[in-house]
Chain A
Amino acid sequence: MHKQMANISKPLAAATFLLWQGGALAQMQHQHGAEAACNEAALRCATKVTPAFAPDGTLWLAWMAGGRISVASSHDAGKSFAAPVAATPEPLNLDWGPDARPKIAIDRKGGIALTFSIFKDKAFNGQVLTTRSDDGGKSFAAMRPVTASNESQRFEAIGFDKDGELFVAWIDKRNRVPAQQAGRKYEGAALFFASSKDGSASWSDARMAIDNTCECCRIGLAFDPSNRPVIVFRNIFEGGVRDHAVIAFSGPAAAGEPRRVSVDDWQIAACPHHGPSLAISSNGTYHVTWFTNGRARKGLFYAHSRDGGKSFSVPLPLGDAKRGPSRPFVLAGPHGLIVAWKEFDGEKTGVNLMTSADDGQSWTRPRTIAETSDASDHPLLVTDGRRTYLSWMTKADGYRFIPIGDES
């Protein structure tokens, strides 16, 4: 392919690229047309919306609509938003996989780091791109890849640690081709990570945390009380078993050993498209929620670890198994733990929620706090340190930002 390209004149190559982009965008618009309420860049047309509070209490949203990533801020906890800013000026073939979404994180100085992934070719190989705003979200720097590698990357997770260093982890397929060339079977993808001391303006060299993990699920990221990043991800264990594991990083450049969350025994050569979620409470307890369809258990589950991932509690099932509970999200909020997930009754999708005031030992009965009758994003939880909110994009009812406890 590269040799063929070298023989094509520059105008010809440019025309080909433009045409391919055009075709990709046409396809994307068709896709968005069915999945989204509309095809513009506006929030109401979004398929994925990600919230984050800045340290000063400003709520920021990053969303994917009309082939663009846009951001907007709110100073009244989501009641009203300032005019949106397009962080990506031109429409892109954004990664529309079910577990893909833009990520946004704000540092202590108000600098905004934004990451997202695109499909860069017809084979749906991905690329993780990053950009940054240093003027309070008025403008964003040119997009740049998170790594120099040209192999497929997807499902990045980002977060600022207490010192203001930005950590990123993502799923990376760079080891696939060398393995295959050496005649070895290669399963899944590797988990890579990097960090940035300048809020994503530049990144450290990418390092591998673990090879052969599941290639099609989101990963969860949180920081422990010692300021160490911890991730949860769907691993591929011996025999093609796609169960979950956590890895704690002893620093921005050193990954610890993977520790298994649960032996669900889900042996499957498939894309579950259904990744886990992680929260760490102030005393250091890890809280994990996940989906499995394993031989040992099926459905959504919660477990905690009070020894840094060495051992986990017996998995607690979540939701009504007859209503396909999905997309679990756990947050350690100012008033305790909250877990949210979706259920579908054949007509309506509801977001269910339960809380724990004793660090995951006991839980309230689940209650439904929002419903919609058409497609919807994953339910996400976010806190400003005082209250916790549900963030949920729906096709039929628009964007919902609901304070937990006030939903009635």
Chain B
Amino acid sequence: MRPQFLAIALLLALLMPAPAQDSETQLKPFGRGSWQELMKAHAGRPTIVHFWGVTCGPCKVELPLLGAFMKDHPGIDIVTISADFVPNLPAATRAMLERSGLSLAENWMFDGFADRLRFEIDPTWQGDIPRTLLITREGKMTTIEGSAEIADLKQWSARQLAARN
């Protein structure tokens, strides 16, 4: 095989999309009832739920900051939900989560009729992203529209972790 074609073959092999199961980032399909399931699973634990999407410019800036925050705050549950208006692109979603240090977060992706999924979470939410929910142990929820200030997340987390002691 000529070196040039060998190089092409190698490049093709390298660029082929990896099978989903080989990716370390698990993406759960977020469908009807997933929100209730998620709330139940995190009940009693301080949780940050972050909604984002691959085509959202401000999300690209915020996501790595959230990744760094997660590393520094193991006592806070971090959940991300890819919530673009149309069903998202799994490969692009995984890649962005991995680049942002969020592979090990609990990651979901909208799967189905987005209007209905949003309605289950908050009927008044029209789908603007990014959007972050801060949920206390007691279930009290605070919504941050748009990019969150990481300093605010740190303050909130400090209060949550202090309340445990």
Contact = CB atoms under 8 A, between A and B. Distances in A.
Interface string A313-324: 000000001111
A350 B128 CA distance: 21
A27 B92 contact: yes
A236 B30 CA distance: 33
Contacts of A344: 115-116, 119
B162 interface: no
A141 interface: no
A349 B54 CA distance: 26
Interface in B120-136: 123-131
A357 interface: no
B43 interface: no
Given A12-B8, A344-B119, A273 B146 contact: no
Given A12-B8, A98-B85, A293-B145, A270 B55 contact: no
Contacts, number: 117
Interface residues of B, number: 45
A31 B87 contact: yes
Interface string A120-150: 0010100000000000000000000000000
A375 B12 contact: no
> Could you say which of A20, A26, A267, A271 has the most chain B C-beta atoms within 10 Å of its C-beta?
A271
B89 A268 contact: no
Given A9-B4, A268-B146, A270-B147, A19 B12 contact: yes
Query: What 9 A-B pairs are tightest by C-beta distance, nearest first?
Result: A98-B85, A268-B146, A34-B87, A270-B146, A269-B147, A269-B146, A124-B55, A27-B89, A272-B128
Interface of B: 4-5, 7-8, 11-12, 15-17, 53-59, 84-92, 111-116, 118-119, 123-131, 145-147
5 contacts: A31-B88, A271-B129, A273-B85, A273-B127, A346-B119
